[in-house]
């Protein structure tokens, strides 16, 4: 394994975080300086922000021991892809992933680092409390992770986001996982190795609004499920079988009432109901299959996952 240039890389995806960039930098710099690491890089990945985020990042001070590296994507690709771009372009022995809105306290990184140095490959942060988020978001998130863990064979830790510190080995493995539907917390859980966690209270975002719209969250949830579970396909198959069986019984009954009981005129209601019901099941099943086929076709296309418009590294500037 090649020697890493930095002792720590901090990956920060940013999307319209103009008022959070500087406070984040200050808190990170303060938290990390106590560690006296030889050389640290902050990798800001600007995910197509439409405000002054980019300029704010480029004005951040570079120091001897703290480099600010900047990746500007060509448009908004979404949080998971932005983090992936950061992971692909970092060079740290340890790598931390953190949100830019200060919901994840940077002060926890030293604790996570010291845990990882005990010999773990992944230290994730598990939220005990989530402040400043709507009950609907919390309830749906909770439900989603419970469902996910019950239908997947890997143990995706509950109540965790992507706030974590991992070793270079984990980053190298991630680079070998070419799937396009990124669900990093699932991919990392899938790897195994030695994983542990610390607990924390998730703060509210410092400023600005969430970049995760309901639409993005729904897509993320579907990616998580389809990437790690064929359970929905099984549901489609099983309900198909059950329905065929029930329809078969209904057919027997229809024939029986037609030829033996000789009552066959009424029955419009049951006919309609069963046709509609079977039609519904079929549509649902086709939809589920479509979700998977869509993802297969995405992977077959082999388009690049993201495009970098500009990349600034401290060394290239000099
Ligand atoms: N983010 C991003 N691209 C997006 C949406 C969000 O890079 O399309 C970043 C955002 O700047 C933040 C992190 O991902 O650093 C988490 O996003 P956010 O705080 O909006 O999500 P929430 O905490 O509400 O789930
Ligand atoms: Mg947030």
Residue 188 lies in a domain: yes
Residue 17 lies in a domain: yes
Which atom of ligand 1 lies nearest, measured to the CA of 15? 11
Provide the angle, in degrees to the nearest 10, between the axes of the packed helices 231-256 and 268-301: 160
**Are 183 and 57 part of one and the same domain?**
yes
**Are 59 and 177 part of one and the same domain?**
yes
Ligand 1 neighbour 78 (Cβ under 6 A): yes
**Are 57 and 116 part of one and the same domain?**
yes
Confidence at residue 8, expressed as pLDDT on a 0 to 100 scale: 95
Ligand 1 neighbour 79 (Cβ under 6 A): yes
For all residues of the chain together, what is the average pLDDT?
86
User: Are 178 and 103 spatial neighbours (Cβ–Cβ below 8 Å)?
Assistant: no
**Are 246 and 195 part of one and the same domain?**
no
Confidence at residue 115, expressed as pLDDT on a 0 to 100 scale: 93
**Are 151 and 45 part of one and the same domain?**
yes
Distance CA 193, CA 177 (A): 16
Reply yes or no on whether the pLDDT at 9 is more than 90.
Answer: yes
Give, using CA atoms, the residue closest to atom 2 of ligand 1: 79
**Are 197 and 156 part of one and the same domain?**
yes
C-alpha distance from residue 109 to each of 227, 233, 240, 243, 253 (Å): 29, 40, 50, 53, 67
* 68-89 residue pLDDT tens: 999 999 999 999 999 999 999 9
Distance CA 99, CA 127 (A): 14
Confidence at residue 2, expressed as pLDDT on a 0 to 100 scale: 67
Reply yes or no on whether the pLDDT at 211 is more than 80.
Answer: no
**Are 131 and 84 part of one and the same domain?**
yes
Reply yes or no on whether the pLDDT at 178 is more than 90.
Answer: no
Reply yes or no on whether the pLDDT at 163 is more than 80.
Answer: yes
**Are 50 and 198 part of one and the same domain?**
yes
Give, using CA atoms, the residue closest to atom 8 of ligand 1: 78
* 14-34 residue pLDDT tens: 999 999 999 999 999 999 988
DSSP state of 108: G
Confidence at residue 252, expressed as pLDDT on a 0 to 100 scale: 80
**Which mutation among 99, 140, 215, 306 tests ligand 1's pocket best, with the greatest number of atoms within 8 A of CB?**
99
> Residue 282 sits in which domain range?
231-301
Q: Which ligand is nearest to the CA of 13?
A: 1
Q: Which helix (H) or strand (E) holds 223?
A: helix 214-228
Give the CATH number of the domain where residue 124 resides: 3.90.550.10
Q: Which helix (H) or strand (E) holds 10?
A: strand 6-14
**Are 269 and 198 part of one and the same domain?**
no
Distance CA 55, CA 59 (A): 6
Residue 167 lies in a domain: yes
* 106-133 residue pLDDT tens: 999 999 999 999 999 999 998 887 777 7
Confidence at residue 318, expressed as pLDDT on a 0 to 100 scale: 45
Q: Which helix (H) or strand (E) holds 129?
A: strand 122-130
Reply yes or no on whether the pLDDT at 269 is more than 90.
Answer: no
**Which mutation among 49, 79, 87 tests ligand 1's pocket best, with the greatest number of atoms within 8 A of CB?**
79
Say how many domains are in the chain: 2
Confidence at residue 4, expressed as pLDDT on a 0 to 100 scale: 85
Among 94-108, 116-130, 228-242, the range of highest mean pLDDT: 94-108
Residue 166 lies in a domain: yes
What whole-number percentage of the chain has pLDDT above 90?
Answer: 39
Confidence at residue 172, expressed as pLDDT on a 0 to 100 scale: 93
Provide the angle, in degrees to the nearest 10, between the axes of the packed helices 214-228 and 79-88: 60
Ligand 1 neighbour 210 (Cβ under 6 A): yes
> Is the model more confident about 27 or about 270?
27
C-alpha distance from residue 200 to each of 106, 107, 159, 228, 238 (Å): 11, 11, 11, 27, 41
**Which mutation among 13, 77, 142, 203 tests ligand 1's pocket best, with the greatest number of atoms within 8 A of CB?**
13
Q: How far is the CA of 79 from the centre of ligand 1 (A)?
A: 6
Give, using CA atoms, the residue closest to atom 6 of ligand 1: 211
**Are 33 and 176 part of one and the same domain?**
yes
Ligand 1 neighbour 212 (Cβ under 6 A): yes
Confidence at residue 166, expressed as pLDDT on a 0 to 100 scale: 96
**Are 308 and 276 part of one and the same domain?**
no
Which atom of ligand 1 lies nearest, measured to the CA of 48? 3
Ligand 1 neighbour 82 (Cβ under 6 A): yes
DSSP state of 153: S
**Are 246 and 192 part of one and the same domain?**
no
């Amino acid at each position: 394994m090649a020697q890493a240039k930095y002792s720590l890389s901090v990956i920060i995806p940013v999307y319209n975080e103009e008022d959070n960039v500087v406070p984040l930098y200050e808190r990170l710099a303060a938290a990390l300086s106590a560690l006296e690491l030889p050389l640290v890089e902050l990798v800001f990945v600007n995910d197509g922000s439409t405000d002054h985020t980019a300029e704010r990042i480029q004005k951040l001070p570079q120091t001897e021991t703290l480099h600010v590296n900047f990746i500007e994507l060509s448009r908004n690709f979404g949080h998971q892809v932005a983090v992936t771009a950061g992971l692909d372009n970092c060079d740290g022995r340890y790598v931390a992933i953190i949100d830019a809105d200060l919901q994840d306290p940077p002060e926890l990184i030293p604790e996570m680092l010291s845990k990882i140095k005990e010999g773990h490959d992944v230290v994730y942060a598990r939220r005990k409390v989530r402040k400043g988020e709507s009950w609907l978001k919390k309830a749906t998130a909770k439900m989603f992770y419970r469902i996910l863990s019950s239908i997947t064979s890997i143990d995706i830790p509950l109540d965790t986001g992507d706030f974590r510190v991992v070793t270079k080995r984990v980053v190298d493995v991630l680079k070998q996982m070419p799937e396009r539907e990124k669900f990093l917390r699932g991919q990392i859980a899938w790897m195994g190795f030695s994983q542990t966690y610390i607990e924390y209270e998730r703060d509210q975002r410092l400023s600005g609004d969430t970049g995760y719209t309901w639409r993005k969250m729904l897509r993320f949830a579907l990616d998580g499920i389809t990437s790690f579970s064929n359970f929905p396909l099984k549901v489609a198959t099983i309900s198909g079988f059950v329905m065929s069986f029930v329809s078969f019984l209904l057919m027997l009954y229809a024939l029986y009432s037609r030829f033996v009981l000789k009552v066959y005129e009424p029955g419009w209601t049951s006919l309609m109901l069963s046709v509609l019901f079977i039609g519904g099941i079929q549509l649902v099943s086709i939809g589920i299959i479509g979700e998977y086929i869509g993802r297969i076709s995405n992977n077959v296309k082999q388009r690049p996952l993201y495009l970098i418009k500009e990349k600034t590294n401290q060394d290239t500037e000099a």
